[in-house]
Structure 1
Amino acid sequence: MLSDRYEVGEVIGRGGMASVYRGRDLTLGREVAIKILESDLAADATFRTRFRLEAQAASRMSHPTIVRVYDAGEDVETDADGTTRAVPYIVMELVSGQTLKEIIAAGPVSIDDAIHYTDGILEALEYSHRAGVVHRDIKPGNVMVTSAGQVKVMDFGIARAVSDSSSTVAETTQILGTAAYFSPEQAKGEPVDSRADVYSAGVVLYELLTGRPPFRGESPVAVAYQHVSETPVAPSEIVDTVPRSLDAVVLRALAKDPYQRYQDAGSFRAALDATRDGRTPSRKQVGALTSELYGANPRQAAETARSLRQLSTDTTMRRTQAGPPAAWIWAGIAVIAVVLISVLFWVLNNRPGTTVPDNARVVPDVVTMTWDRANELMFEQDLDTERLDERNDQIAEGNVIRTDPAAGTTVAPGQLVKVYVSTGQKMSTVPTLAGLSTDAATTALTSAGLTLGAVTTRNDPDLTADTVISADPAEGSEIAVGSAVNLVVASGKVTLVDVVGYTAEAAQRALSADTLKLVPTIVEDPGCPANPGRPTVAAQSLAPGDVPIHSTVELTVCTGR
């Protein structure tokens, strides 16, 4: 039991940083997934603080393609020797299905499915980036696919908590274990933005198309080096059924320079959708794009170098014409050297200064960071801060919207910087909907600033058709205004079983049970021979299947000789 509220059940998944358990929220009476952090991470107080803040920020996001984070907390566990240790956990939506990692491992994925899965990931990223949340750890293991084919991305905010609490890139790599999906800027330990998620989504698309990531190595460091410096092989060169139109999309998403990638998830989705219209670039066009994004092909450069070395050591080749006099050659080299030195001297002496004077400070860019992190950075720059709360639907609660003066402005030490912090989206409470009709429930949702989501039917022996049985999120839940609430409504029917051949008593008992609550009546038929000592049902007035609740079912029992 965690925090006297969450009942922890069996393990349903394990990862490098946490284990996931099936659980139950005893307060709201719903099934949940509970992720409990490993003890080595839990021992880091800085990590626990960042983890809680990032998980709370992720909990503000509500979208069909994102696994909901319901709660984040910390409990205390006492060991056998009496020592206590923190147990950080998060409570998430319980999703039934497979991870994308399991789907890829099971065998080749069709082109249409690869596009569908990637589009779902990008839809989630498009929403999260608008909310100011960068995932930082997009990989097949963090993507669920339900039995209905719905894509759901999980672990938003957790990667940032880990990376912000790690002092080195090596530690971050060790914790996350996902170097195969790093962006080049993550591999180099540089600050990242939403375009890092675009790159990782491109890696996932590459693996869906080819069955393997674009870069592989014996260690995470080797893979990280390839992300920074190597040119990926076009997917169609690995699997010839991949259309070249997807080559162009993947190569653009995997550009080393963030400014050469798709600048947001929406642009990536649009390019992916455009591949369906049948337009296919030529092999020459794909090669030109590769050259533009990655420079000269490394394999071609290696072949050229090998050929030059062979020519320089081949003593069988002879000149077919006389060369210029040696004096002219050395004079030309001397002139070129003088010109190059002069140009270099001019460039070094005319380059603008890039250092900031000791008596000045530059306002750091803290947009989308948490208030605590922004305040730390301002303090490090010897700047004073004033927090101003402001509602914002695009930036998650507790994250910075903007600063005044703006980022990059040069100011004096001790300058007061106003930091505008988001109070998040306007929230609403899911009203009581059970027992209402669908129309009445829709009216109640509209009054609360919410919308009607998916409506599914379920048989219930007590409720008339179109009566609401339950809602998801449950009544009393706090969710963002404009969010959709899914309903389960009664069908007004129950499923009648075939009781022909039952004894009359057993058939009546089965039909009047609490799960059906039908009304059985016995009709005697003297026209057919009775079964002595064991009257059995020869026919029933309603065929097996769904029938209206409280229906009367006539059971024919033979009474003839």
Structure 2
Amino acid sequence: MLLVAGLTWALNGGLYTSVPGVLGEPQQQAVQTLSHAGFVVQVKQDFSATVPKGSVIGTDPTPGAHVRKDATVTVDVSKGAQRPTVPTVSGKSVNDAISALQQAGLGVGPQRQQGDPTIPAGSVVGTDPAAGTQVAANTPVTLIVSSGPQPVDLPDVTGESVDQATSDLQSAGFQVKVDPNQVYSDQDPGTVAAMNPPAGASQQGVTVTLAVSKGQQQVTVPSVTGLSEKDAQRALKQAGFKVRSLGFSLFGGATVHSQTPGAGGQAALGSTVTIWVY
């Protein structure tokens, strides 16, 4: 009988007692409650999406457990909701970027296309929210995916000085290369005769090669005085000139009596030579 009575005393009011319920209480209050009940209290912290920061998520042993009064009770205190950091995924493939977001405890939102002059089409330019931002766990993160360089307007700089053309193109975001070999053209000497690629839609950042004019090509005007109109026209066209005939012809037997410019002189290739026939 004495043994039974002793066990009953130990269980009901002596050495053993129940762990009080402190779930949801602030840490300080929970520790005081457990300490007053005779327990040794240890505190650990964990993230919780539902329990406010600083409040008790749970205890070990659990509330209501019958344990020795001097037992150790571990109190699990909330650190608040976990806030993972958005990882840097710029330059990665979409699949690799998605894996990185998931590993960080984040969700994947809809993708958004954006032109980029350096990141290849199909690779990730960035994220929204931006890399380094702390957000709630499972927050959907939008991947901004490169659609490649976007077409931009390449200005027409033919006829400009090389310095002015270079300045205009660089201001528009293009690289410039000047061809050391000058070319004949209708443009003034020292100005831009041609550009490659030509003016119009182009990719930003491409290199534009400028051909510099050395003026119109000068050729010698052949002598056609005394030739028939037909033969004179043939000779001048073969030499690279256009022909204008003035005068009149009787029965198709007209002969060239003069020409401008005169024979032996220099004239621009493609310019017009006037002949007088009768």
Class of the TM-score when normalised by the shorter of the 2 chains: 0.3 to 0.5
Q: Please tell me whether Structure 1 or Structure 2 has the larger radius of gyration of its CA atoms.
A: 2
Alignment TM-score, normalising by the size of structure 2: 0.42
TM-score by length of structure 1 reads 0.25
Return the structure number with greater strand share.
2
Larger RCO (CA under 8 A, 6+ residues apart):
2
